[in-house]
Amino acid sequence: MRELPSAEDLKAGRKRLRLTQEEVAQHLGISRVRWTRYEYGHSRIPRDLVAKFHALVEGGLDSGGSQLFGTLAPIPVMGRAAAGAGETNVDSDLEPIYVPAKLATMGGIGFVIDGESMMPALQPGDVAVFKPESTPRRGYSYLIKTAGDEFRCKNLEWKDDRWTLVSLNPSFLDENLADGQIVGLLVG
């Protein structure tokens, strides 16, 4: 018989799955408030939920499967892509994330989103998944490498006879793609 996990174990398992408290609660068929009480040690988690949680952790992402998304596979998180000013740091040693296998087989790579120019679709700290793509299409979101070697996530629009980087957040100004290079298409 398994020991009851500590509140820290529950939180660590959830974070390893890269799920929110709401998402774990949905997987377990309980309310987010109830899950939060277990994760903060305010209530003891019942054994039946321990079994479901272990199945989610062990049989879910760790074995390449998920009740919600089917087979999962790791993709590398390569660095930070600004939804704002831009980043030059690309670090392939960041911890990979697990995504549906279909995204991984596309050659998907992850970038952590910095800044608020793509809100509300992308929040700071989100990991965006891009598949290799260099052909611009109007209205799609792309990973762009600027002439200054910064990575940005922006929509592309054809304006004034040129490709323009457009933010979803109206408080940010449009920019000319200029000498930038389209690296990938946002797919997840």
Report domain extents, the chain.
7-66, 71-186
Looking at residues 156-168, what average pLDDT do you find?
Answer: 90
Confidence label for 59 from pLDDT (cuts 50, 70 and 90):
low
The CATH homologous superfamily for domain 71-186 is Umud Fragment, subunit A (2.10.109.10)
Taking the CA atoms of 73, 100, 58 and 17 in sequence, report the sign of the dihedral they define: positive
Beta strands 70-82; 65-66: pairing state = antiparallel
Bridge partners of 164?
157, 176
Q: Enter the CATH code of domain 7-66.
A: 1.10.260.40
Q: What is the pTM of this model?
A: 0.59
Read off the tokens for 44.
Answer: 């003891």
Beta bridge partners of 131: 185
Task: Find the mean pLDDT for residues 41-56.
Answer: 82
CA distance 160 to 105: 37
- Identify which of 184, 171, 53, 173 has the alpha carbon closest to the alpha carbon of residue 120: 171
